[in-house]
A and B are shown apart, each in its own frame.
Chain A
Amino acid sequence: MNQNEFTRRLFLRSAASVAAATGLGGFSGLASAQANELKIWANPGVHKVGAKDWSAMESQGGISIAATAKSARADESIQKMVVGDGNRLFDAVTDNGGGMEDALASQKAIVPLDTSKIPNWKNILPIYNEGGVGASTIRHEGEVYATPMISNADSMAYDYKALGFHPDSWGVMFDSQFKGRVSLQNDFGPTLTNMGIYLQQTGKIDIKNASNMTPNEVKAVCEFLIGYKKKGQFRTFWDGFQNGVGLLASGEVLMSSCWEPVQIVANKKVGDKADIRYGTMKEGHQTWNNMIMFTRGGRERGKDDLYYKLANVYLSTWFGARTLAGLGFGPQMSGVDAYIKANPKDFPADVQTRVLDILKRKNERYAVKGNSWQNVFPKHLRAYQDEWSRLQAA
């Protein structure tokens, strides 16, 4: 929660207390204001655009939003929504990666959506239609439970100035000439999925589904990484946004598997000293999306209309263009490029060039056949944990 949001919430609570204590009629007005307010639990750095606070999102949706900051940890979300007080506190929640909607829907923490009440749903990317590669990411047992907000295909950032070429394979990370200058994300989910994709597509290891590997497959992927770790191939595994940025920007590593915003910020930070770019790997990438879901509590409190209005904002080209231009996240609707070109005031020529280039490269990554969707709850999660600890100990 940022200072503005904190102050606003504190003010509302204080006002409620004063109204209650003095018995003034203002209380009913406050209660009515809260009835028109959507309480959401979201990542403020990622899930809003247009202003430092939620005001631009509010004015676009014509609603009032009371937002509480949420970390990127899936375990916290699951805990709060399934066994905690999430449903009492929040009308809508954002997720932390693929598979969470299944987990929450199976526990009845979130409710199905009526997409006919979201006008912009007609513009949603075709991948989310029945039979599309992203269809299952917003559905549980055939019903739509979530509205996608942003997505990406995670890849590798590299310093083009130092390398002198554009890597197009994860295999570059294991080239001995870059010994000690490579970093991986310190998270078994994306790292093992991306490495699984690489080993699967190059035929080095027989892997059926890189997003849901068997214990033997996970073990084989970790054995592969352990071999290179022992040779000193990896400088470190990064954890946390600034940490990832710092490694690339300081020149400590020449390449790193990372989120695209890490590359964007690192490249801004280095200026002319380096040229940090985000590649397209021919083997494929872990693809993911973030969604906003409607809680059981939200439905019980009758916040349906407010949720649908916010979902409509997330599926508008207004949001898509801004999330793309900001942190480089993929928009979830068609027509963003046309919107950007039609709004030169908000997107001047140089910005248009940069943003449309990001979109073009993003679409190239999406088109790679070996891509595999993120799965925060693989069937053999314990095997992932155990083998990751072996890699850490090696």
Chain B
Amino acid sequence: MPNSALDNRTEGGRHPPASEGLWVRVLGENGVQKWVFYIPVVFMTLFLAVPMALTVVWSVFERTQFWMKPGLTLFAYETFFTSARAENYLFSMLHAAIAVVISFALAFPIAVFVRRRIPAALQHRVVLLFILPFMISELVRVFALRPVLGRNGVINTFLMDIGVISEPITVILFSPIGVVIGDVISFMPFMVFAGFLAMEAVQGYVFEVCEDLGARTLRAFREVIVPLAAPGIFAGSVFIFVNSVGGALVPTLLGGPGAVNAGLIVNQAIVAIDFPLAMAISAIMMATLMLLLYIGHRMFDLTKILEPLS
């Protein structure tokens, strides 16, 4: 059978295995192959875009006794903005923002240290160590903070034993501070990863140039390193912020009386079988996040995050 393609494949006496021929037939350029690349698009459409669109649509539906019916009402939004839920939502964003700042202050220097001081061959392994906490259930990690931060916990017992305090410090658990501590400990590794990746954009000679020009460490960090790594820092901040605002576990286990965040407010609306309200709050969360991403992109050009990889 004279066929140029076949001739090419058999060139040099090499015969392709039968299975390869089968794959070529199934996934060949004119077959399924080009469609395979659309699978992620289909996936994202079905499981991300459609649910997000439905969230917005359902948020304007009318609430029925146990479900909802098609309609066009902003009642759920009105309920959200005219109740204390909006206040709770803003407070949860404030706590999340504080957690982001503290995580940055603790984790970014770690990322810089790893990038600068650890031999290149070991850097990725060291960063991978920060994955270890994620091998333990978040429930266990957060719950384990209670015997540490509690009235009779490790910190209070130690401080009382050495005579620094005479009464237990209660503000570090079951309080907004407890929530921030929990968020930082739970999500800080995201900042280490993002910071480490961001530092790929800062070439080694930059540090040397800073030193040669006499910039002190703090100034070099503030005026050179951070601006260069800003897209990565922003990405890490978004991860922490989103988890802190939406995750139910930390405020439930470490928060004060009735502590909530945006995720818990949604959950409570669902428990009360108020689906339009739950959808409205979710839509507001999505809008908030998209606004943050837009601002971040305008300020830091988030496409730069992936530049080191390319």
Which A residues are within 8 Å of any B CB, using their own CB? 73-75, 78-79, 82-83, 103, 107, 180, 184, 186, 229, 234-237, 239-240, 242-243, 246, 250-252, 381-382, 384-386, 388-394
Chain B residues whose CB sits within 8 angstroms of the CB of A393 once the complex forms: 84-85, 87-88, 91
B84 near A392 (CB under 8 angstroms)?
yes
Q: Which one, A78, A79, A246, A390, contacts B146 given CB within 8 A? A: A246
Interface residue ranges of B244-270 to A (CB < 8 Å) = 252-253, 255-260, 265, 268-270
B257 near A234 (CB under 8 angstroms)?
yes
A390 near B257 (CB under 8 angstroms)?
no
Chain B residues whose CB sits within 8 angstroms of the CB of A236 once the complex forms: 174, 255-257, 259
- With A103-B65, A252-B152, A392-B258 already in contact, 17 other A-B pairs whose C-beta atoms are closer than 8 Å: A73-B271, A82-B66, A107-B66, A186-B258, A236-B174, A242-B143, A243-B252, A246-B146, A250-B146, A250-B152, A382-B79, A388-B268, A389-B265, A392-B88, A392-B260, A393-B84, A394-B84
CA distance A154 to B65 in the complex (A): 27
Q: List 8 A-B contacts (CB under 8 A).
A: A79-B66, A184-B257, A236-B257, A237-B258, A250-B152, A251-B152, A252-B173, A388-B268
Q: Is B134 an interface residue (CB 8 A)?
A: no
Which residue of A has the minimal Cβ distance to B175? Answer: A236
Which residue of B has the minimal Cβ distance to A180? Answer: B170
Nearest Cβ distance between residue A248 and chain B, in whole angstroms? 12
Chain A residues whose CB sits within 8 angstroms of the CB of B174 once the complex forms: 235-236, 252
Chain B residues whose CB sits within 8 angstroms of the CB of A239 once the complex forms: 252
Chain A residues whose CB sits within 8 angstroms of the CB of B146 once the complex forms: 246, 250
Chain A residues whose CB sits within 8 angstroms of the CB of B147 once the complex forms: 250
CA distance A388 to B83 in the complex (A): 10
Chain B residues whose CB sits within 8 angstroms of the CB of A78 once the complex forms: 66, 273
**Residue tally, chain B, CB below 8 Å to A:** 35
> Does more than half of chain A's interface fall in helix, strand or loop, or is it mixed?
helix
Chain A residues whose CB sits within 8 angstroms of the CB of B143 once the complex forms: 242, 246
Which B residues are within 8 Å of any A CB, using their own CB? 65-67, 79, 83-85, 87-88, 91, 143, 146-147, 150-152, 170, 173-174, 252-253, 255-260, 265, 268-274
CA distance A386 to B272 in the complex (A): 11
Q: Which one, B252, B258, B259, B272, contacts A381 given CB within 8 A? A: B272
Nearest Cβ distance between residue A378 and chain B, in whole angstroms? 11
Q: Which one, B79, B150, B170, B273, contacts A75 given CB within 8 A? A: B273
Chain B residues whose CB sits within 8 angstroms of the CB of A251 once the complex forms: 151-152
Nearest Cβ distance between residue A114 and chain B, in whole angstroms? 27
Nearest Cβ distance between residue A274 and chain B, in whole angstroms? 11
Chain B residues whose CB sits within 8 angstroms of the CB of A83 once the complex forms: 66-67
